[in-house]
Amino acid sequence: MHFIKENLIFSAESNALRAQLMLSILGSFAEFERSIIRERQAEGIAWRKRPASTRAANAPSPRTTSRKPGNG
């Protein structure tokens, strides 16, 4: 397995403990991110199924925050 952007290479015959640990950590983060995506998708679907009159009153708040220029 070769991650081009991070320049990481994991081979099947590699028995290095650090390489196995790094691959496990990367896999855990990928699984966590995928769970968050599924959760947000389910929230959006549930919100969309509600009547339009209740959706307008309870619109979901944006998950990202905007930064003002100059605040770093």
Predicted local distance difference test score (pLDDT) of residue 62: 67
pLDDT at 24 (0 to 100): 87
Q: Which positions ≥6 away from 8 have C-beta within 8 Å? A: 2, 22
Residue type, 63: R
Distance in angstroms (rounded) separating the CA atoms of residues 19 and 14: 8
Higher per-residue pLDDT: 67 or 21: 21
Which pLDDT tens digit goes with each residue over 5-59?
A: 666 777 666 667 877 888 889 889 999 999 999 999 999 998 888 887 776 666 6
Q: What per-residue confidence (pLDDT) applies to 32?
A: 97
